[in-house]
Structure 1
């Protein structure tokens, strides 16, 4: 996306333009690997990515219906993430690539996500970590420009919101430990911090990546009838030895 004045765009579209910069590519390279792994083995019928239509983050998934929804130009389905045009419990997988960072009402977005996901449905999201070198840079830049005007929701706060909506963590990681320097040469000099960060500063990376599952209280998953029948057959087939040995009579 090329525009003459990036500041004239909505925040989520400004962020999409920023991802093409050297620093944006540094973030995107690591997030792509996370999304590819997180969505590869999620099965169902409907998968939805909210915002960033220029990034096919669902390409590693094999569901028959995969689409991008949001307010950005280029989305297959134009809608506010707070008001998704899907019935309740109809979507199997939802991706939020920094969607919460650049939406004015992230809690409303999460409530809508909870509404449309099926029980045991998957939520995969990424966000900027304020408790990192990136958070410090954001304060230094007075929260101006891209991506520093984003909300940078803290991980404990976000997990509290998700817990209230009955989401449970299934996996995740922290990445982008190097300071947010625009020069590729300086990025290379700080490349050692990626491996060191995972070991010595595991919560201090600039980006967090989460895999969540929607749980439904009181719901009991019922196994297919053929499995239950097989279990009964196996129980009948178990041999029970006679309590009295013939040698004891």
Structure 2
């Protein structure tokens, strides 16, 4: 892996641990997004992972951060770059799958109307933004009521998280992240504060943080053992949350109904009725 303070995604996804993690995340996303319905779905960042591959919404888009710099997790071709045949290549041509559009924008200021999107997927997006809580607020703003938010990230409470912490101090990080990894418990608190309801959370990738296919294969037995005995210590996690909007139900004036006599009962006789009745002597 490159000896840099920040690892870019293209280099990491071509490595054995990168392929291992992305294979698990792709399988989880394919299973979950296939059951989410609506009209608009967005993937924020990480074009190396096709998060919406199995989703059937008619409008699906890939949203990429227009900002560039040393902290960018992946290199984007600019609109004026040239392909091998001399034609201009747009970012959409290079990153968006067939039939989808790519939107270049500031992820902290999404150019979408409030309550206009049914599904948002964030694959490791929070680990590269300078303000993860603000990005979550933007996602909450554009999501429709009952819309779903899916977040994937590296688990700081794992062997991978421990190696990442020590690696960053030595200048040799193990996973690509511009900032410290976000703890799963902290992320749950954030999404609950924004009005989301946590639907499910799943951990995976229990093999040790090893750099070769040979050693990762030797520890394949840890997948089943980890999922059973220490599930919260997986290297990667996926969180699914639903946006809940709790409002008041306005009702009109309450109409007072006249009491209804029970069937078979008659009104009791009044005093006037007794005084006007004739009796024979």
Same fold (TM over 0.5): yes
Q: Return the TM-score normalized by structure 2.
A: 0.71
Q: Distance in 1 between matches of 2:196 and 2:222?
A: 31
The alignment status of 1:137 with 2:163, answered yes or no, reads: yes
1:180 corresponds to:
209
Q: Deviations over 1:40-72 (max 9, x none)?
A: 011111000001123322010000110100216
Q: What is the DSSP-based 3-state SS (H/G/I as helix, E as strand, rest coil) of the residue aligned with 1:104?
A: coil
Cα distance change, pair 22–91 in 1 and its aligned pair in 2 (3 A): same
Cα distance change, pair 6–37 in 1 and its aligned pair in 2 (3 A): farther
2:32 equivalent among 34, 38, 46? 38
Say what the alpha-carbon RMSD is for the aligned residues.
2.2
2:23 corresponds to:
29
Matches within 5 A, 1:112-191: 112-142=138-168, 144=171, 145=173, 146-147=175-176, 149-191=178-220
1:101 equivalent among 118, 124, 127? 127
1:48 corresponds to:
42
Aligned residues: 215
Cα distance change, pair 32–162 in 1 and its aligned pair in 2 (3 A): same
Q: Distance in 2 between matches of 1:23 and 1:219?
A: 49
Which structure 1 residue ranges, 5 or more long, are not aligned?
221-249
1:80 equivalent among 74, 81, 106? 106
Which structure 2 residue ranges, 5 or more long, are not aligned?
66-73, 77-90, 96-101, 250-281
Q: What is the DSSP-based 3-state SS (H/G/I as helix, E as strand, rest coil) of the residue aligned with 1:173?
A: strand
Contact 1:169 1:213 in 2 (8 A): yes
2:236 corresponds to:
207
Higher percent of residues as helix: 1
Contact 1:7 1:14 in 2 (8 A): no
Cα distance change, pair 182–118 in 1 and its aligned pair in 2 (3 A): same
Contact 2:26 2:49 in 1 (8 A): no
Q: Distance in 1 between matches of 2:38 and 2:203?
A: 27
1:231 corresponds to:
none
